[in-house]
Amino acid sequence: MITLASLPDPVWPVVLLAAIQFGDGLMSLRPVPFIARCFTAVEWPREYWWTMPVLKFAATAGLIAGIWVPYLGLLTSIGLVAYFITAIAMHVRAKDLGRNLFLNATGMLLVCTAVTWLSFTGHRMV
């Protein structure tokens, strides 16, 4: 039976994911070439590019605050899983089936799913 933990245990995967999101937010402020190519490939309108660092920094804050605020880290982690499922769907819809899909979106979906499972379900990887 899976039970959800209100606070992360272990904490280190959540901190690592927060650091990744923070770095991604910094790279999205003025999108570095591989991020700009990703946005362009999925036809994300340029006038909305500014939302990406906002989302990434909000995720960072939610993950860090969630270390002490019950369920906030879990909700943020689940939100990131949903974000990357949506990103994968956008890549598939745009027929962008290369590096952007498999390395960026799918890789991050796996990381976010692993953090959610490891830190919030009470299950331990042996």
Q: Which domain holds residue 56?
A: 12-120
What pLDDT, on the 0 to 100 scale, is given for residue 6? 85
Is 4 within a domain?
Answer: no
Q: Which of 83, 68, 87 is nearest to 11 (CA)?
A: 68
What is the pLDDT confidence band of residue 56, given thresholds at 50, 70 and 90?
A: very high
Q: Count of alpha carbons within 13 Å of 67, Cβ hemisphere only? A: 14
The DSSP result for 47-87, as a single string, is: GGTTHHHHHHHHHHHHHHHTTTSTTHHHHHHHHHHHHHHHH
Residue pLDDT, tens place only, 20-40: 999 999 999 999 998 998 899
Is 42 within a domain?
Answer: yes
What is the tally of structural domains in the chain? 1
Is 2 within a domain?
Answer: no
Do residues 91 and 28 make contact, with C-beta atoms less than 8 angstroms apart? no
Q: Is the model's pTM score more than 0.85?
A: yes
Task: Report the Cα 121 to chain-centroid distance in Å.
Answer: 18
Is 36 within a domain?
Answer: yes
